[in-house]
Amino acid sequence: MNKAEEFIQSRLQQRAEKGILRILSSKPLLVDFSSNDYLGFARSAELKTISAATLTQITDYKNGATGSRLLNGNHIFTEETEQAIANFHHAEAGLIFNSGYDANIGLISSLAQRGDTIIADELIHASLIDGARLSHANRYTFKHNDLNELEAKLRVSKGNVYILIESIYSMDGDFAPITEISKLCKQYQANLIVDEAHALGIFGSQGSGVVQMLGLEQDIFARIVTFGKALGCHGAIVLGSKNLRNYLINFARSFIYTTAAPIHSITTINSAYQMLIKTDYTKQIEHKIRLYKSLLKDTAIPTIESTSTIQTVLYNNVNDAKLAAQTLQSKGLDVRAILSPTVAKGKERLRICLHLFNSDQEIEMLVNELKKLKYE
């Protein structure tokens, strides 16, 4: 075995010994309490119908985009969709990327220059972290949602300053104090970047997100809205000024050096937004969240306070979290354990996602099974 193969094998073995080896699996059909398909759009027959009808209006339909947006891959429908989404979110402009990961690495790495400062909440998504790593800026983190620590870092920051937060945190499900952070950003002339991946469809009028729910559209430098969660599609948009859009078209490498999304993907995204505009799902999803929380009330089950679709059950080690997930799966409930290093060591957990299509009885069954599990 050559040295590279030896290296690979030893890294995998180390993970296996710790019980944290990641493997791909396709599970049998269980009741979904783990996917990000919060509104059931990924499985929606209505979305398929609207999307198919929209596609028939595209005259020069091709199976693939055939190149980067800057070469052959651009389509007027994509640009119209970008502007329609920007209008929906009360933003001046928007630029679609092939995924949320691409959007975050492209945005952060192209913006922040040597001598600039990035200050990020310690719990931000890996894609934002990787974007910061790819930049040459000075990087700092602050304790989760800790305004004092953020302000201390702001006081000593240099150059253009970018603050990275999520409106709803992907693994904890809690809110960022965006209004307060936004005030600090104004005070210190920092630029606030908010990832709304887990807020779209759930919060704000017509599910437009937390920034709009708080009326902060004008105060946020850039928003990232992803289409792979509540929208049930794939891709993401960066919302901001027209200048920012033009800048990203020129400098964001994950936008420039990749084949554009195929037009059928864009029609699905466009159609999913048509569904958000037609129906406000936020009250219906709120009912599911309230039901789950009310059933869990007065139990000793350790959780992180959350009013979003993302709920947690905390364990302090890998084995207990894995065993809990396996037990629930054996009862027909698709709940997954989230292990370190995705979350901090000792903060392993079940990540329970609530959906519009989860019946009240399924949620009751889940909580009954959770009550039977062992907690320290």
Ligand X SMILES: Cc1ncc(COP(=O)(O)O)c(C=O)c1O
Least separation in angstroms between residue 134's CB and ligand X is 15
Q: Is 232 in the site for ligand X (CB under 6 A)?
A: no
Q: Which is nearer to ligand X, 153 or 198 (CB)?
A: 198
Number of residue whose CB is nearest ligand X: 100
The answer to whether the Cα torsion of 98, 99, 101, 105 is positive or negative is: positive
Q: Give the 3-state secondary structure percentages of the chain, helix then strand then coil, rounded to 5.
A: 45, 15, 40
Q: Is 109 in the site for ligand X (CB under 6 A)?
A: no
Q: Is 195 in the site for ligand X (CB under 6 A)?
A: yes
Distance CA 139, CA 118 (A): 5
Q: Which is nearer to ligand X, 339 or 370 (CB)?
A: 339
Sequence-distant (≥ 6) Cβ neighbours of residue 19 within 8 angstroms:
318, 319, 322, 339
Q: Among 100, 204, 209, 240, indicate the residue that binds ligand X (CB under 6 A).
A: 100
* Binding residues among 151-170 for ligand X as defined by CB under 6 A: 166, 170
The answer to whether the Cα torsion of 97, 99, 102, 103 is positive or negative is: positive
Q: Which of 97, 21, 36, 46 is nearest to 259 (CA)?
A: 97
Q: Is 228 in the site for ligand X (CB under 6 A)?
A: yes
Q: Which of 183, 187, 129 is nearest to 155 (CA)?
A: 187
Q: Is 194 in the site for ligand X (CB under 6 A)?
A: no
Candidates 93-101, 185-193, 281-289, 357-365: pick the segment binding ligand X (CB under 6 A): 93-101
- Give the Å distances, CA to CA, from 332 to 120, 165, 289, 290, 314: 38, 35, 20, 23, 21
Q: Which is nearer to ligand X, 47 or 123 (CB)?
A: 123
Least separation in angstroms between residue 224's CB and ligand X is 7
Least separation in angstroms between residue 167's CB and ligand X is 9
Omega before 341 cis (within 30°)? yes
Least separation in angstroms between residue 127's CB and ligand X is 5
Count of residues interacting with ligand X (CB under 6 A): 13
What is the β-pairing status of strands 236-240 and 222-226? antiparallel
Q: Among 125, 288, 322, 349, indicate the residue that binds ligand X (CB under 6 A).
A: 125
Q: Which is nearer to ligand X, 200 or 276 (CB)?
A: 200
Candidates 48-56, 96-104, 280-288, 310-318: pick the segment binding ligand X (CB under 6 A): 96-104
- Give the Å distances, CA to CA, from 9 to 2, 22, 196: 11, 14, 38
Candidates 94-102, 111-119, 136-144, 320-328: pick the segment binding ligand X (CB under 6 A): 94-102
Candidates 100-108, 250-258, 311-319, 336-344: pick the segment binding ligand X (CB under 6 A): 100-108
Q: Is 101 in the site for ligand X (CB under 6 A)?
A: yes
- Residue 217, judged by CB atoms within 10 A of its CB (0-12, 13-18, 19+), counts as middle
Least separation in angstroms between residue 104's CB and ligand X is 6
DSSP string, 67-94: S-TTTT---HHHHHHHHHHHHHTT-SEE
What is the β-pairing status of strands 31-32 and 333-334? parallel
Q: Among 197, 248, 252, 352, indicate the residue that binds ligand X (CB under 6 A).
A: 197
Q: Which of 219, 108, 110, 114 is nearest to 159 (CA)?
A: 114
Q: What is the DSSP letter of 207?
A: G
Q: Which of 162, 155, 185, 164 is nearest to 113 (CA)?
A: 162
Candidates 95-103, 109-117, 257-265, 339-347: pick the segment binding ligand X (CB under 6 A): 95-103
Q: Which is nearer to ligand X, 125 or 322 (CB)?
A: 125
Q: Among 236, 276, 339, 366, indicate the residue that binds ligand X (CB under 6 A).
A: 236
Q: Which is nearer to ligand X, 204 or 370 (CB)?
A: 204
Q: Among 226, 254, 265, 271, indicate the residue that binds ligand X (CB under 6 A).
A: 226
Instruction: Give the footprint of ligand X on this chain (CB under 6 A).
Output: 99-101, 104, 125, 127, 166, 170, 195, 197, 226, 228, 236
